[in-house]
Amino acid sequence: MVPLSWYLIFSAALFSIGLFGVLSRRNLIAILLGIELMLNSVNVNLAAFWRYGDVTNITGQVFAVIVFAVAAAEVSVGLALVISVYRKRNTVIADEIDMLKF
Amino acid sequence: MSSWVYIGLFLLVGLIIPVGAIVAAWVLAPKKSNPIKQTTYECGIETVGDSWVQFKAQYYIFALVFLIFDVETVFLFPWAVKLNSLGMFAVIEGIVFILILIVGLVYTWRKGMLEWV
Amino acid sequence: MDFLKDPLKVAADWLLGIFSGWGMPDLWAQVLIGFLGIFILVALLMVLDIFLVWIERKVVSRFQSRIGPNRLGPFGLIQPFADIIKLLIKEDTTPEGADRTLYNLAPILSMMSVLILWAVVPLAPSILGVDLNIGVLYIIAAGAIGTLSIIMAGWSSNNKYSLIGAFREAAVMLSFEIPMLTVMLIPTIFAGSMGIGAITQAQDTWNFFLAPLAAVIFLIAAIAELGRSPFDMGEAESELVSGYNIEYSGMKFGMFYAGELLHAFTFGGFWAILFFGGYRFFGLEQVSAFLAIAILFFKAFIGYWIIMWVKYTLLRIRIDHMLAFNWKFLTPVAFVLLMTTALMNALLADASNWLYIGGMFLSNILVAWISLEVARSASRWERERVEGTGYAARRTE
Amino acid sequence: MTVDQIIFLVIAAGTLIAAFRVVTTGNLIHAAFWLIAALFGVAAIFAILHASFLAVVQVVVYIGAISMLFIFAVMLTRKDMRDQGPQLNRNWGFGAFLAALAFAGLVFLVHGWSGVAKTASAFPSDFDAVGALGNALVSPDAYVLPFEVASVLLVAALIGAVYVAYNRK
Amino acid sequence: MSTETIIWLIPLPPALAFFLIVLFTNRNKALSHTIAIGAALLSWLGSMIVFARALGVERLGERPFTSSINWLATGDTWFKIGVLVDPLTALTLFFVAWTVLMIFIYSVGYHNFGQPEGDHDHKGLPPHGATVEEHGSKHVVPSVEPMYSRFFAFIGLFAFGMFTLVVSDNLLTLFVGWEIMGLCSYLLIGFWYGKKSARDAAVKAFMTTRIGDVFMLLGIAYLYSVTGALSFREIFTETTLHTLQIIPSGVLGFSTAGLIGLLLFIGTVGKSAQFPLHVWLPDAMEGPTPVSAMIHAATMVSAGVYTVIRMFPLLSLDTQTMSVIAFIGAFTALFAATIALAQNDIKRVLAYSTISQLGFMIAALGIGAYIAAVFHLITHAFFKALLFLGSGSVIHGMEHGVFHTGKHEVDPQDMFNMGGLKNKMPITFWTFLIGGFALSGFPIVTAGFWSKDEILADAFAHNLPVFLTLAVAAFLTAFYTMRQITLTFLGEPRTEEARHAHETPWTMTIPLIILSVFAIGFGWIGIPEHFPLLGGLVPNWLHEFVGGTLAEHPEAVEFSWTPLLTSLVVALGGLGLGYLFYRNVNSPAEDKLQLGFLKNKYYVDEIYNAVFVKPAIWFADKVVYQIMDKGFIDGILHLFGPGTQGIGDGIRNYFDLPFINRFLGDGSANVTYFSGEKLRVIQTGRIQQYLMLALILFLAIGAILYFFVFSV
């Protein structure tokens, strides 16, 4: 039997790799890829807690399914914004999109 | 033993057989390559420019609509499984769920965003 | 007699006995047996695939008033084997600038996506395959890998035609997955389970009689999913030459080709399983597992024949028409049908069996008729608007 | 070490390597394909956890739809994929430090948590996870509201994203 | 359908209407208003059914209609949301449904539906009128509002917020409805966003009410942290209330109940425009004339009072809080009434009168007169709605005159431009007169008399200073109301425009007539039993019905002649004096009450500007922007950036340039400018760096909490 802590450490590692991607990639799409990894690590946690808790209590899976919906919404809007930005400014490099400072 | 082990085995076999076939061909087939053979096939005409051309936004929009409805059906499958035992209330809930999404479809349709050209 | 009834169990027990005799741990023996069984099944499928090539060629010839392969062996039966030898010894070129890893991975994934579908196919009452309780979604998941392989092939070939072909194909496959998923919910509702085995077993009445419209929509979506004519956007010989597999040759092309044929046959099988009772035929399936398999394959061949019939009869549709047909007609109809079915299912829950079947059948016919009428008047409106005649033109002036 | 532990470690290692390639590889399309590999690994983890539904949904939604969306989006923003400039920004070293710190913190929390010693319980004989999920999603005293709100969220995302991405001439 | 189902469904149609209009029918004006009015009608129907069924239940207060569902999983328990209809809710639903429906219908006429599109109308500006040719001559007619559909979408959303607030059984959904209305208020005040005054007013209203909302949210959070519940039925149990009463809060000697009550009350002060957060309401008159004004008079501001009434069991636990409430209410009543005396804008007079009347209700609650407050809330909603719609009708008629003469500089809202409208607009006049008399408390026949009399009677019995203040305020109310009526309707027309004013279409007059019926008739449900002659003819139904909401049935106040005579004298005296004073006044110069400090609303706006706004701008500019943003945050980001150009430039800007430049004798201004300019370009706007900073802080706070706070 795989111990619960392995799952948690695995998901922590996945989360940290995603976090690194979000913090360090220049390309906006790559940043979104990192976010996907982070969301997945959350789902791993939810599924693991479901399996190692009371399996008849399905809450963990419900949450995971809702995370799927949130991820879908997030990625669709995020990529749409990237495409829109690309169309207006002809770049998807995060550093070059710095209108926030004005 | 979990039935997923069999799925795993299936994946394995499903990989082995095509790989085996391709490796067999690789072993048997002659290898006399030259630059002309390796050019990109474009009906005999020299390729101009980069192959990885930019695509139109419409592809993205269809993929987007697909994604949303895909996730929706994911929600609907557990609903459908339990439909017989849950009665009228669950049916109404599902219908409301679908109707809300159809509103989105109708909106994109009415705004002319489902047109290919 | 047991062997006829349940050959798998007999064979497995026999092998288990042998392996245990060799002193192998029980777990390992079971895994090994599973592996062997799967390997044999997949190998048989590949043989079937070879004959599918022959069938396809024969059938298309008859449709086109030709004879087809007739030289090698009786009725040209040896022809496909000759094809294989040719594919094996043909030189395999890789275009320059190709993304080699993905280029080689794509045909493998394409074949794999078809083969793993058979994991969940219930061949006989005693051979339910892997009876996952989420079988219906598993079909879609395998289809996702197929789409992926096409994108991979198109992208890695470094060729404009293949890239455009792959993206069009992907757009079509994605789009038609929605009505397909939606109508797959309908057998799920009837069976109360997503397991393919459970769906087969629940069909005391074939689902076709409960949901004829769903069966039709499933077939249309399946043809689009297969990328066969009239939805063969990915290949589109006349404009994209051969689409996503343009740069492939030799066995790699063979994988795409064989994968497509087996895919078509497999979907014929799923059509039979979801809507025509799978291996069930008036209790005959209980006699022998072999008979059940024969029944399933017979039904699958009928489905496959219809897919071929459509392919060689209809012309390719333009991509904008195809997508418009999906999003503006098929998807809404599928959703309306799903809602109607769910509602009727709840309303007729306590009704007698015949009333239930009749109500379901009639509601399907009604939905089909109304949606066709709506589509007809909408297209008339559109035509009159374009041509400048009739009420629509006067209204928009 | 038992067999399933070895299987888990192999899958986890593969997933993490794929995830690492996602955030480091230069070619965005490759990053997207590596993401698919990582997501497939996560699906396998779900399968090990006996969460069949999540495993299949992971493949259907993430590999079938979300990664397609990514690939399409990359194709729509072509210029930068050929742009082989640095793929990491100037602060990447600090980003890596922070990510490592976050990982250390999470591991520390896991280490200090008493519940980590829990073991998985056996499934009840007639347990149907998908059915239970269906019950939970539509029962009035459970998650019916999130269920309906999810559809509203999806519609909002659909309308918003299509509106933003649509190219008005 | 069961009553509970209907209650759940009441708020829904307007919300659906909002989405339908915004998403689909934006182009089609007729369809938009049909959907909106249809939705309002459905809600109205639902409310009436619920109200009728509520009447049929004996002792509804003890057995209200309730229904709740699980909403949020909080660990193993669920946070529930639900609906509740007790007598208070039933009555509130009644008047809200009526007034909302009336606004919807009225808006059709007010926004000139059916008129042609304007010649130069722009979105975001009031319509300027359209030129049409008729009988061979060109003339200008009112043109239809360019953003007609949007208006109906907004008021649909508004109605959703109001209904949600009224039917909710817990503070959280109440707060959700409250905030939705805040948003709609902002959108509607700034509806004509092309006008700077409208934009400013919208921002002002939003920011001012936000101050109250923050405190209210704090109160809700505090309440939840103490009791673990937000549902009214759970909070108002004896044990919970007792717990709240005995635990001291540690702030100024308030009990927990008192402090929570006070925080919630501050929310009401913002929403119901009580002193000192009243400043937004008069400015809110920048919205489309009668409608948004009417929202800010009859329904939305009532929501604030409704909340206080709803929380009365909690508030009444602490006498200190009650005194604060009574003081603020009474003071506002008098304060606003005096300002109203000197206003010339027909809508501003009503705006201040609204503030004043809301003060009456708050004061009544503060002295414990629960039923009187509810009574006045309802009657006020009806007659104030009537007055506002009437004033809108007057303005509309005046605009007609302006179009006729073509002199656009004439202000159609200035009462000194009117006069003699009685004959031009008879329906408007009579209904306005009824509303005005109800507001003044004209004896016996009007609803306002009964409710105001009850407040005065209660005040007399419990708190004499409040009684005196309110009496003076009531006198002033009658006085300025009569001033308004006299200036607007009586006498001779003072301008050409007034001479050509016109009665408004039926969509506007029908609501006026319906509301005037309520403005008269609604008082009869609450005639005190010991009232001379009339008492006992009609049983005091309201007292029985509303009183049932509270656990302890409040005792009716013993009858006394003093408050009755007072209210008779102040009402009749005010009206009479108002008529006598303004009978012959024709211009602002002749008006002796145009005192500087009244005209300028006691300079409250100016004081706020000097005390809050200017320092805030200074702080934002000098401290936050210059030091925090540029110096501190950028500095941190700067330091962490790996040693590249960033650090090099930073060192150059922070050390080299200042030192060397100063050393060389360059001006320090030059240095500041140059370094600021450099910093601005190099180091902001990178979203990932902000994220890093957020993460650093998160990790730091997490570590501190883990090691120092929770480990103890």
State how far the Cα of E580 lies from the Cα of E596, in Å rounded to an integer.
23
In the predicted structure, residue E58 carries a pLDDT above the cut 70: yes
pLDDT tens digit sequence for E302-348: 888 898 888 888 888 888 888 888 888 888 888 888 888 888 888 88
Q: Sort out which chain C residues have CB atoms less than 8 A from D72's CB and list them.
A: 167
Classify residue C186 by burial, with Cβ atoms within 10 Å: 0-12, 13-18, 19+: buried
Averaged pLDDT for residues C45-70: 86
The full DSSP string for C113-180 is HHHGGGGG---BTTB--S--TTHHHHHHHHHHHHHHHHHHHHHHTT-HHHHHHHHHHHHHHHHHHHHH
B111 touches chain E (CB under 8 A): no
SS3 content of chain E, % helix, strand, coil (to 5): 70, 5, 25
Q: What b/e readout covers E406-427, taking b as 16+ CB neighbours within 10 angstroms?
A: eeeebbbbbbbbbbbbbebbeb
User: Residue E337: what pLDDT?
Assistant: 86
pLDDT at D14 over 90: yes
Question: What residues of chain D lie within 8 A of the CB of B9, using their CB?
Answer: none
Q: Kindly state whether B75 is in contact with chain E, defined as any CB-CB distance less than 8 angstroms.
A: no
**Stretch C18-32: mean pLDDT, rounded?**
79
> For residue E553, what pLDDT is reported?
65
Residue range D2-17: mean pLDDT, rounded: 89
Residue C245 confidence (pLDDT) above 90: no
Q: Which helix (H) or strand (E) holds E602?
A: none
Average pLDDT over residues E258-281: 85
What's residue E538's pLDDT? 64
Mutate to test the interface with B, among E23, E31, E69 (most CBs of B within 10 A): E23
Helix axes E12-23, E29-56, angle to 10 degrees: 170
Distance CA C346, CA B91 (A): 7
Residue range E584-589: average pLDDT?
72
Say yes or no for a CB contact (<8 Å) between A23 and E687: no
The segment with the largest mean pLDDT, out of E276-290, E310-324, E615-629, is: E310-324
pLDDT of residue E675: 54
Helix, strand, coil shares, percent, chain A, to 5 = 80, 5, 15
Which of A3-17, C284-298, E53-67 is predicted with the least confidence, judged by mean pLDDT? E53-67
Q: Which of D72, D144, D151 sits opposite B72 (nearest CB)?
A: D151
Residue B116 inside a domain? The answer is no
Angstroms from B107 CA to nearest CA on chain E: 7
pLDDT in tens, E240-253: 888 877 777 767 77
Which tens digits make up the pLDDT trace of E346-383? 888 888 888 888 888 888 888 888 888 888 888 888 88
> What is the residue range of B46's domain?
3-110
User: Is the pLDDT at D80 greater than 50, yes or no?
Assistant: no
Q: What is the CATH number of the domain that holds B79?
A: 1.20.58.1610
Looking at beta carbons, which residues of chain E come within 8 Å of D105?
Answer: 699, 702-703
Work out the minimum CA distance from A24 to partner chain E, whole angstroms: 8
The position carrying tokens 């799927």 is: A68
Residue segments in chain A with a per-residue pLDDT below the cut of 50: 100-102
The string over B99-117, giving b where at least 16 C-beta atoms fall within 10 Å of a residue's C-beta and e elsewhere, is ebbbbbbebbbebebbebe
Show which of residues 146-165 on chain D sit within 8 Å of chain A, judged by CB atoms.
146, 150, 153-154, 156-158, 160-162, 164-165
pLDDT at C84: 85
- Residue labelled with tokens 């930073």: E650
What CATH number is given to the structural domain containing A85? Answer: 1.10.287.3510
Cβ-based contacts under 8 A for chains D and E? 40
Task: Give the pLDDT confidence of C211-243 residue by residue, as tens digits.
Answer: 899 999 999 999 888 888 788 776 666 667 677
Domain membership flag for residue B40? yes
Supply the range of the domain harboring residue A68: 4-101
What is the tens place of the pLDDT at every residue in C314-347?
888 888 888 888 888 899 999 999 999 888 888 8
**Stretch B89-110: mean pLDDT, rounded?**
87
Nearest CA in chain A to B75: A65
Tell me the average pLDDT of chain E.
Answer: 79
Query: What average pLDDT does range E551-556 have in this prediction?
Result: 66
Q: Hey, is the C-beta of B57 within 8 angstroms of any chain A C-beta?
A: yes
Confidence bin at E664 (pLDDT 50/70/90): very low
- Which chains does chain E touch, 3 or more C-beta pairs < 8 A? A, B, D
Residue B115 lies in a domain: no
Instruction: Tell me: pLDDT of E461 over 90.
Output: no
How far is the alpha carbon of E391 from chain D, nearest alpha carbon, in Å? 40
State the pLDDT at residue C314: 85
ipTM above 0.85, yes or no: no
Which residue in B9, B33, B92, B102 has the most chain C C-beta atoms within 10 A of its own C-beta, making it the best mutation to test that interface?
B9
pLDDT band, very low/low/confident/very high, at E301 (cuts 50, 70, 90): confident
Question: CB of E291 within 8 A of CB of E110?
Answer: yes
Residue keyed to tokens 């739809």: D65
Q: Does D73 touch chain C (CB under 8 A)?
A: no
User: What is the Cβ-side half-sphere exposure of residue C67, based on CA atoms within 13 angstroms?
Assistant: 7
Residues of chain D with Cβ-Cβ distance to A77 below 8 Å are: 157, 160-161, 164
Amino acid at B63: A
Which position has the token pair 């999603």? D137
Structural domains in chain A (count): 1
> Is the CB of D165 less than 8 angstroms away from the CB of B70?
no
| Per-residue pLDDT, E682 | 44
Q: Which of E472, E453, E478 is nearest to E564 (CA)?
A: E453
Number of structural domains in chain B: 1
Residue tagged 């940043």 (tokens)? A31
Q: What is the 8-class DSSP label of residue E555? A: P
pLDDT tens digit string along B57-68? 778 888 888 899
Asked which of C41-55, C83-97, D98-112, E427-441 is least confident by mean pLDDT, the reply is C83-97
Q: Is the pLDDT of residue E651 over 60?
A: no
pLDDT for residue E639 is more than 70: no
Decide which of E373 and C385 is more confident. Answer: E373
Residue D83 confidence class, pLDDT cut points 50, 70, 90: low
pLDDT at E672 over 60: no
Q: Which chains touch B (3 or more CB pairs under 8 A)?
A: A, C, D, E
In 10 A of CB E698, how many CB atoms?
Answer: 12
* The predicted structure's pLDDT at residue D16: 92
Q: What is the pLDDT of residue C217?
A: 92
Instruction: State the pLDDT confidence band at E707, using cuts at 50, 70 and 90.
Output: confident
- Report the percentage of chain C scoring pLDDT > 90: 9
Which residue, among B34, B54, B70, B81, would best test binding to C if mutated, counting the most C CBs under 10 Å from its CB? Answer: B81
Name the closest residue on chain E to residue A26, using Cα atoms.
E688
* pLDDT classification of E623: cutoffs 50, 70, 90: low
Residues in chain A closer than 8 A to B67 (CB atoms): 72, 75-76
Residue D169 has pLDDT above 70, yes or no: no
pLDDT value at position E42?
Answer: 92
Structure tokens at E312: 């009365």
Q: Show residues of chain C in contact with D52, CB under 8 Å.
A: 132-134
